[in-house]
Amino acid sequence: MLVRIENFLTKQEVTDAVSLLEKADWVDGAVTAGHLALHAKKNLQLPEDSPTARQLGDFILSLMGQSQHILAAGLPNKIYPPMFNCYQSEGEFGDHIDNTIRRVAGTAVKVRTDISMTVFLSEPEEYEGGELVIQDTYGEQRVKFAAGDMVMYPSTSLHRVTPVTKGRRLASFFWMQSLVRSAEQRRILYDLDMSIQALSAETPNNAEIVRLSGVYHNLLRQWSET
């Protein structure tokens, strides 16, 4: 399931974030690549202990907790701290699947990567190429959203970033461990939750909404790992 969260960041928040990123010290993105992805990854990245990365990452995490759409789509259990990358001058990331387990630097915390997330910080017209290409159940999805938008998709998906041939592509990327491991089960819960919310807005006093809500929570109770 690929989910777009539009306007996750406002345009002013994007401008402020980019201003900080332009002053930060970037390193070769290959330093965090796995063995198989080492030669496929050609980009720049902020070190995980970068003050800028931590400041912007904490801000992104604070916003995620306020988004009912993200909560419905992801059912968060743990979230890996947001990281930041830059693609330019033919930078790309070839076909790969994200590492299953990631340890949060400097801690004993481990996060299983159920859901991959990207927050776009550059407008599509500011760069050429740089599409996030995801191999989905329904075929190839090519993602190049507006600055401030987020995309969420299963970390089990084969994906790549096409070469940026002109301009610069800035983004934040990170992972979520969901309360529900199965992508199929998360999709069922997400669709059910969206339907309940829509029905509640149309007919708030409908008694069947209570019954449907019970079905949702009983499925979550059955499938949740916590």
Question: Binding site for 2-oxoglutarate: which residues?
Answer: 169
Distance CA 87, CA 47 (A): 15
Distance CA 60, CA 82 (A): 7
Q: Do residues 116 and 182 lie in contact, with contact meaning Cβ atoms separated by under 8 Å? A: no
Residues belonging to the binding site are: 96, 98, 159, 169
Secondary structure element (H or E) that encloses residue 222, with its range: helix 207-223
Token pair belonging to 66: 């306020």
Helices 183-202, 207-223: crossing angle, 10 deg rounding: 160
Number of neighbouring beta carbons within 10 Å of residue 138: 8
Distance CA 170, CA 164 (A): 11
Residues belonging to the binding site for Fe cation are: 96, 98, 159
